[in-house]
Structure 1
Amino acid sequence: MRVLQLIDSLDAGGAERVAVTFANALVSKVEYSSLCTTRKEGLLKNNLDKGVSYLFLKKNHALDVFAIVRLLRFIKREKINIIHAHATSYFTGTIIKIIKPKMILIWHDHYGNSELLHKRKFKILQWCSFRFNGILCVNKNLTQWAISHLKSKDIRYFKNIVSLPEENDTNLKLKGIEGKRIICVGNFRPQKDHQNLLNAFELVLAKHPEYSLHLFGKNWGDTYFNNIKEQIQQNNLGECVHYYGAQKTTLGLLMQANIGVLSSQSEGLPISLLEYGIAGLAVVCTRVGQCEEVINGFGQCVDPNRPEDLALAIHSYIENIEKRTLDATLFQNHILKNHSIDAIIPILISYYESKR
């Protein structure tokens, strides 16, 4: 079994983290494990295991012939027989499948706007899906959508995975008072609804002014990010809300906090939620995507776009340390049992084998 993980970039996003985790975990489990990023490298390149064969295509547009030829040569040289295409890389994978019909092509749908699937454009994806040997979806909404709209014969929900670093992975020290830190890891896109989080945090500060909020994630310097910066400035939150940008690893950062929060309007199955669990944080999140099922009762889950409810959930953990500690421990055990490498990789390998 010779497997290639295909992804369009190595920025610090959820789909990218899964692709890197799969590539690394498979090194010792299959004959050959590799990863190809088609358009862009990024922070996560440094997270690749030395045993993972790596290719950067430098693809400039959808039908970049030279990039496709480079990928075909790599596939032939390394005798790859399974391509696991993540997110938007499905188009590149489909071109390879057309040229090499015997190639096994799996598509992994990480679509984050699973609450807004009625707005999803899918005509090209639908055409490509005729050639997919299977589709893996990160939540049940996506699974049902794929069954209704796409053409693959094998479509299934597949739990997301989180890796467990062996040691503290950062030298960055969080600001604020130890024991009184709230953290949010999520790229600055509208679906993450940082405005909702900031509104909730203002309510938290009214009762607990000693607490601080720590934001991690990539920003594109766009209107959304600028609006968040403006909200922080206008509400005089600069002394207690801290932004650190995107980071290639997060465990060491998360372990410096006490409560992990997601305030999203829409999600698939966020990797950051799993990372909160691995780090032993108490979790507060919105009831979107697969979040509530992942929490499994071991955290606080509220409706989106309701900052008052989000603030109350955070208050409950600030004011009841015993409950916070218990929930954090139970959630950590739950994630280790259901979403760790040891739990997921055997299922993934079995799935690959079923396609051969």
Structure 2
Amino acid sequence: MDYAGFLNYLHDQGTQPARGQRSLIRFIRPEAYQACLRELNKWKSLSEPLQQIRTSTLLHAFICPFTIKQVPDRYGKGIIIEKDVRIHMHAVAATGKENTPSIPWGVRHIHAPEVWSVSTGHQIRIGVIDTGADFSHPDLRHSMGRGINLLNRNLMPHDDNGHGTHIAGTIAAAGGSDGIIGVAPRAAILPVKAFDHNGSAYVSDIILGIDWCVRNQVDIINMSFGMRSKSKSLLNVVNKALQAGIVIVASAGNDTKSRSVDYPARYTQTISVGATDRNRRIASFSNRGAHVDIYAPGEKIYSAWLGGKHKEMNGTSMATSHVSGAIALLLAHRPGISPAEIKQLLRRSARPLAGAGKSLSRGGTAPAEVHALRLLRRGSK
């Protein structure tokens, strides 16, 4: 392949008046990616469009902030081009009066406090791919690692939306008398800021976030977001993270669908999470059905918010953070357990839902809710 000619083609595409859709370019052969990357590094300083290309070593891909049209045959045989589409958070603000419990109802509901004498999630590293986190929040100061800001690598991953802070709080808040306690209060949150202040990101940002999590050896990736279209590139990088031994927890979506969930939760490589209410029923907004692995509290979930505050939120996003916290408790108690074993233990230890009927979740099991105490007991056998 003529790598210099291919990069010149990319330069020309990047100088078009209407840039339009962002693009992912995946190299089929790793050695071709490495060769083209070396050439890119030589020519970057001479081309403004080439300077804007980001790369994923894990995926062997270039990420271009401009449209790549039909690639000439002399370049296109060894590459796969995919549109870089938008992806969104799975949460909305709850209506009604906020409460102020030190242990929120969802944390109690999954019986996490009964586990803390055995495990608090100590030293388990959780990559939260989200809007960042409020590093100064009193409930999170002792739970935060440095993380990364993929939108501006010169800045810390500070949260300018609130969603990421809420997720981090449910997983690992360790507040004092005026704060809250999360499911795994001694776990380490590594915020991966891939979403902007509007709660929006591109698939490429998620890919780069997973790439970073693999390189930084996290134990769990929390993905409280989704999209309706599939992405081969996203599936590819999720597979690579799973092969690295990382547990991937993803929210099912808030569209009240009974036979479908959003991607990446729909991939069998993830643990797909739906939401329940206080009565152990599937929340009205939650997607449900055969593509969901497990359910968890997701309605009126009280957690950390920007400016040292707290807020109630609804969503399968919130449910996912409960499951990530429960897995952290298990991993701290039983290090080295594989993602496949964890998924099986979640199902076997879960508590049946109220009024779930005859529908089945993924794996042919009845719809059930995560139960941290039973999970650890099963994991100890």
Shared fold by TM > 0.5? no
TM-score between the two structures when normalised by the length of structure 1: 0.39
The structure showing larger relative contact order (alpha-carbon pairs under 8 Å, at least 6 residues apart) is 2
TM-score between the two structures when normalised by the length of structure 2: 0.37
Structure with the bigger percentage of helix = 1
